[in-house]
Amino acid sequence: MTEERFQQFLRDAAQDYNRPPEAPREEIWRAIQAIRRERRERPRPQWLHRVLAAPSVRWGVGIAAALVIGIGVGRLSMRGDVAGEAGAVAENGGAAGAEAAFQWVTAQHLGQVETLLTGFRVDARLGRPVAQSGGAARELLSTTRLLLDSPVSEDQALRSLLEDVELVLAQIALFSSRRAPEELEIIDRSIEQRSVLLRLHSAVGAQPSLTGVQGVL
Amino acid sequence: MDDKELVARVRAGDAQAERALYDQHVDRVYRLAYRMTGDDDLARDFTQETFIRVFDRIDQFRGAAALSTWLRSVAVTVVLNGLRKVKRFRRREVALEAAEPTGGNPHPTQPDLREKLERAIEALPVKYRMVFVMHDVEGYTHEEIGAAMGVQVGTSKAQLSRARARLRESLAEFAGEWAS
């Protein structure tokens, strides 16, 4: 009897747990349409054509392997064996390996930026401490700059996204040292006005997973 | 329009059918996402991602289960994966904060029942929380939960039972509320 009472009590009390507002149907629908449109219109990156057309892809493979292993993607909450797997993809695969490694590095990086920005905005909005995001932002900023200097940036859409990501990450890194509350609003505005999260979401979704890549190889 | 016809029209690229499918299911997807995240932005993101995947993968829907069952399984996958990302971020934050004292109040006030319950639900392992929220809060059956999470009905029941046991333990100081 007590158990039944407890269950009833729990069900009643839990109704207030994260009680949802009405779904913003039209806004979500517009966002879905925008993401799908962007994915449909997204051309195949030019840098991929060039890497694949190059007489020797060793250069590309070398850069990819260096990016995978050297940039330190694995430092950011990745399992230790994954960088090795990606390195093996780059080393073994020739043109396909270069393509796969570049795609993998870019997808991983953009995924990590998406995670940081999502968490940062949520915590900022809920009043949780966000200053420590600066360290993560600085690490991601370094990788962003390396990618901007790599063949990846020959894809104009991706370059534009990386440049906007660079700006927002720099703002977050600066915020962590200055801790000026008004800068939170500026960061939020930068993310909103440039649709950074929307574009990241779209870009990450468009990249194949490492598993998928390995399947192809 | 039944599910079969709706899916056929979505597969053919009919924009009105896409919107009809969206309208039929968006409220429940958003509700579940919001219940699991407690955050409007995340709930919107997860809802968007669910429908984008559904439209992208509609060819994979074979009709063996109801459309709502398939769609719910996509939503649950999106929410669980999304929460893992957020959790990874938070873990980094917590580790960094632990290294630097924040100067917070060392003697917080005793939380009331509602706060305590919220914290206890938040502290559940994410899959237990999903089962608890779906069953006890949103009213899904174990069959629906099992299909959405890709587990047996028995597993869903066992996870709910463990979730409740943990909550009961966490709320022990309020036992008078349900024992009387």
* Interface predicted TM-score (ipTM): 0.85
3-state secondary structure of B117: helix
Regions of chain B short of the pLDDT cut 70: 88-111, 178-180
Rounded percentage of chain A residues whose pLDDT exceeds 90: 9
Q: B177 — contact with chain A (CB < 8 Å)?
A: yes
- Collect all residues of chain B within an 8 Å Cβ-Cβ radius of residue A129: 93, 97, 102
3-state secondary structure of B62: coil
Q: B50 — contact with chain A (CB < 8 Å)?
A: no
Structural tokens at position B10: 């979505």
Which of the residues B48, B86, B102 would you substitute to probe the A interface, choosing the one with the greatest number of A C-beta atoms within 10 Å?
A: B48
**In A, residues 123-162, which contact B (CB 8 Å cutoff)?**
123, 125-126, 128-129, 132-133, 135-136
Structural tokens at position A70: 């050297």
Backbone angles phi, psi at A72, to 5 degrees: 90, 35
* CATH T-level fold of B3-90: Rna Polymerase Sigma Factor; Chain: A (1.10.1740)
Nearest to A68 by CA among A37, A89, A93, A49: A89
pLDDT (tens digit per residue) in B129-176: 999 999 999 999 999 999 999 999 999 999 999 999 999 999 888 877
pLDDT at site A127: 67
**In B, residues 114-133, which contact A (CB 8 Å cutoff)?**
114, 117-118, 121, 132-133
pLDDT (tens digit per residue) in A27-66: 999 999 998 888 777 655 555 455 445 554 445 555 555 6
Give CATH for domain B112-174: 1.10.10.10
Kindly list the domain boundaries of chain B, sorted by start residue: 3-90, 112-174
CA–CA gap between residue B47 and residue A28 (Å, rounded): 8
